[in-house]
């Protein structure tokens, strides 16, 4: 596969033409009477027309046929996709999942869409407020099938196997330790090359933004230039009656047939595009004296709610870094949080739990549910010699953190058979070290 090209930058106005058709973008206007190369002009709006400039998102696509050329949509099997947050009774326990099992291609061919499994979520699709967390487990490319989501944006975190993603804006190769965001309405089709697994954070009605940096200044965390947007690429491919467009609409799946590949956009311009980001580029900021900065310091992208400082969902990572804090218990602190914290592991070993939390698995610590280091971690870290040390080398854990109180689906609690019934036991050996007669701490300090 020839190396793919990208446009660097986050949220910029971009313009791209497939090099086979120079001058495909109309000059000086969006909607000429006849477009160059006799293409059709189509606008994709990602925000209300009337949004202020800072949040207004749209792109113009110049394509061989407009997207409207399809047979009617019909309902299809929902598989394990759901937005029914009342399938099972609420469960406030700490939940942990073993690695979600990927079906073997020799037993059943499953593509990205048929391999979507909703794990948890909250909110309401119809009023554009909420989120869902899905696990994708697949072994087969989508072929003559594409998908678009009318409900929200997908932030896709591949954990095993790379994804070659065809979009209307061009192609992206997304490997584990990279993420991509495919925003509402954008059609895409995914090729996979092995048994493939990953996580999806779906947000309804909002788009991901870079977090404000406040006193950090103009640079740091995820830098805008490290986000990559595909360049225009088209195929003029006839598939008489044989191309299937799948749509998630109000939480349900629908399919329509059409005669051509939807990846027939010869040129585009605008600021509403898919993009990818390599997590290795994250500039980590942390305490260099004592104590912890809160984990918000590791926020890559945020989907804001209407309440200042409160996110529908944040995407947060725990990258390799130095731990240098003096006189400090260095692993994550014991914690109860009004936010809900879903964690996943792309690779390696998470510092607060050396066993049990495995790549391809997950955990959910719901609103106000206590959590923190396991007993082994606490004992070791309380006695550790506090020299500067590398933390999380070879590891990438992440968190989807939400202000909404999420419900877990029946698939998550039962059908997946991946729930670790013994999770709570990792805290059982924690014992009291209380010495009422002596204030002197027992540790090396
Ligand atoms: Fe926490």
3-state secondary structure 230-285: ECCCCCCCEEEEEEEEEEEECCEEEEEEEEECCCCEEEEEECCCCEEEEHHHCECC
Q: Which of 279, 306, 333 is the last residue of a domain?
A: 279
Scanning the structure block, which residue is given the tokens 């059982």? 428
For the segment 306-323, the average pLDDT, to the nearest whole number, is: 96
In a domain, 251, yes or no: yes
For residues 355 and 407, state if they share a domain: yes
Residues 204 and 289 reside in one and the same domain? no
* pLDDT exceeds 60 at position 445: no
pLDDT score of 442: 74
Above pLDDT 70, what percent of the chain? 98
Which tens digit of pLDDT belongs to each residue from 247-265? 999 999 999 999 999 999 9
pLDDT tens by residue, 126-161:
999 999 999 999 999 999 999 999 999 999 999 999
Q: Are residues 233 and 304 in the same domain?
A: no
Indicate if 213 and 359 belong to the same structural domain: no
What gap in Å lies between CA 263 and CA 65, rounded to an integer? 10
In the chain, pLDDT over 90 holds for what percent of residues? 95
Instruction: Give the C-alpha distances (Å, rounded to integers) separating 143 from 190, 242, 294, 413.
Output: 8, 11, 44, 32
Global pTM reads: 0.97
Residues 6+ apart with CB under 8 A from 213: 219, 220, 221
**Which pLDDT value is given to residue 316?**
98
Give the pLDDT band (50/70/90) at residue 354.
low
Distance 435 CA to ligand 1 centre (A): 28
Confidence of residue 1 (pLDDT cuts 50, 70, 90): low
Distance 370 CA to ligand 1 centre (A): 8
Contacting residues for 312 by C-beta, under 8 A, at least 6 apart: 123, 129, 130, 131, 203, 204, 206, 303, 304, 305, 402, 403, 404
What separation in Å is there between the alpha carbon of 110 and the centre of ligand 1? Answer: 34
pLDDT attached to residue 77: 96
DSSP category for residue 79: T
* Residue 40 CA, distance from chain mean position: 32
Q: Helix count (H) and strand count (E) of the chain?
A: 2, 28
Same domain assignment for residues 246 and 342: no
Give the count of domains, the chain: 2
Q: Which of 134, 207, 292, 365 is catalytic?
A: 292
Would you place residue 240 in the very low, low, confident or very high pLDDT band (cuts 50, 70, 90)? Answer: confident
Q: How many CA atoms lie within 13 A of 387 on its CB side?
A: 3
What's the rounded Cα separation, in Å, for the pair 285 and 293?
9
On whether 350 is known to bind a ligand per the annotation, the reply is: yes
* Same domain, yes or no: 326 and 224: no
Whether 335 has a binding-site annotation, put simply, is: yes
Order of strands, sheet of 95-97, starting from the edge strand that comes earlier in the sequence? 95-97, 362-365, 340-347, 396-402, 311-318, 299-304
Does residue 290 sit in the same domain as residue 238?
no
Give the domain extent around 351.
284-419
Lowest-confidence pick of 171-185, 270-284, 375-389: 375-389
Strand order in the sheet with 265-270: 14-17, 265-270, 58-63, 40-45
Beta bridge pairs of residue 117:
80, 135
> Could you give the 3-state DSSP secondary structure of residue 325?
coil
Residue 296, domain CATH? 2.60.120.10
Question: Looking at 279, 307, 330, which one is the last position of a domain?
Answer: 279
Smallest CA-to-CA distance from 340 within 304, 368, 301, 317 is with: 368
Mean pLDDT of 346-355: 80
- 389 with 243, same domain? no
Task: Write down the pLDDT at residue 300.
Answer: 98
Distance CA(112)–CA(197), nearest Å, equals: 9
Q: Answer for the pair 384, 123: CB distance below 8 angstroms, yes or no.
A: no
Q: What is the mean pLDDT of residues 416-441?
A: 93
Same domain, 270 and 367: no
Distance 338 CA to ligand 1 centre (A): 10
Distance from C-alpha of 25 to C-alpha of 266, rounded to nearest angstrom: 9
The pLDDT mean for the chain works out to: 96
Shared domain for 233 and 330, answered yes or no, is no
- Confidence band (pLDDT; 50, 70, 90) for 444? low
Cα-to-centroid distance, 330 and ligand 1 (Å) = 14
Is 444 contained in some domain?
no
The DSSP symbol for 39 reads P
| Alpha carbon of 357 to ligand 1 centroid (Å) | 15
Does one domain contain both 140 and 232?
yes
End position of a domain, from candidates 279, 304, 330: 279
Average pLDDT of the residues in 340-345: 97
Residue 24 above 70 pLDDT?
Answer: yes
* Residue 382: predicted pLDDT: 94
| Apex 418 CA angle, 160 and 95, nearest 5 | 105
Residue 438 clears pLDDT 70, i.e. is over it: yes
Average pLDDT over residues 91-111: 96
Residues 16 and 158 in one domain: yes
Reported as a single tens digit per residue, the pLDDT across 205-231 is 999 999 999 999 999 999 999 999 999
Q: What is the mean pLDDT of residues 173-193?
A: 98
342 is a domain residue: yes
At 350, the pLDDT band (50, 70, 90 cuts) reads: confident
Active site residue 349: no
Q: Assess if residue 360 is contained within a domain.
A: yes
Classified as helix, coil or strand, 317 is strand
């Amino acid at each position: 596969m020839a190396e793919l090209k990208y446009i660097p930058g986050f949220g910029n106005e971009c313009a791209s033409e497939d090099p086979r058709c120079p001058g495909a973008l109309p000059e000086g206007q969006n909607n000429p009477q006849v477009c160059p190369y006799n293409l059709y002009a189509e606008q994709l709006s990602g925000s209300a027309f009337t949004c202020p400039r800072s949040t207004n998102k749209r792109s113009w696509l110049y394509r061989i046929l407009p997207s409207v050329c399809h047979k009617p949509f019909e309902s299809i099997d929902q598989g394990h996709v759901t937005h029914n947050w009342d399938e099972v009774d609420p469960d406030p326990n700490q939940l942990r999942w073993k690695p979600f099992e990927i079906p073997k291609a020799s037993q059943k061919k499953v593509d990205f869409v048929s391999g979507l499994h909703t794990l948890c979520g909250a909110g309401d699709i119809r009023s554009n407020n909420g989120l869902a967390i899905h696990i994708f487990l697949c072994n087969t490319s989508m072929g003559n099938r594409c998908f678009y989501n009318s409900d929200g944006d997908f932030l896709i975190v591949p954990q095993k196997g790379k994804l070659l993603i065809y979009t209307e804006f061009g192609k992206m190769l997304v490997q584990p330790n990279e993420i991509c965001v495919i925003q509402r309405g954008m059609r895409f089709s995914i090729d996979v090359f092995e048994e493939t697994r990953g996580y999806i954070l779906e947000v309804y009605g909002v788009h991901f933004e870079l977090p404000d940096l406040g006193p950090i200044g103009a640079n740091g965390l995820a830098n805008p230039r490290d986000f990559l947007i595909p360049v225009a690429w088209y195929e003029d491919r006839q598939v008489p009656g044989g191309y299937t467009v799948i749509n998630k609409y109000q939480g349900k799946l629908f399919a329509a047939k059409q005669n051509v590949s939807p990846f027939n956009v010869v040129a585009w311009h605008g600021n509403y595009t898919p993009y990818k980001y390599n997590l290795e580029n994250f500039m980590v900021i942390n305490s260099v004296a004592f104590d912890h900065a809160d984990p918000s310091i590791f926020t890559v992208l945020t989907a804001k709610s209407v309440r200042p400082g409160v996110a529908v969902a944040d995407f947060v990572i725990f990258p390799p870094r130095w731990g240098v804090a003096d006189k400090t218990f260095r692993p994550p602190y014991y914690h109860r949080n009004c936010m809900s914290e879903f964690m996943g592991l792309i690779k390696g070993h998470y510092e607060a739990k050396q066993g049990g939390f495995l790549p391809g698995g997950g955990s959910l610590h719901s609103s106000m549910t206590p959590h923190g280091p396991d007993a082994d971690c606490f004992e070791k870290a309380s006695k550790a010699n506090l020299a500067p040390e590398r933390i999380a080398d070879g590891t990438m854990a992440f968190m989807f953190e939400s202000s909404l109180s999420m419900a877990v689906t029946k698939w998550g609690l039962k059908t997946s058979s991946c729930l670790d019934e013994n999770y709570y036991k990792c805290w059982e050996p924690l014992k009291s070290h209380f010495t009422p007669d002596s204030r002197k701490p027992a540790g090396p300090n």
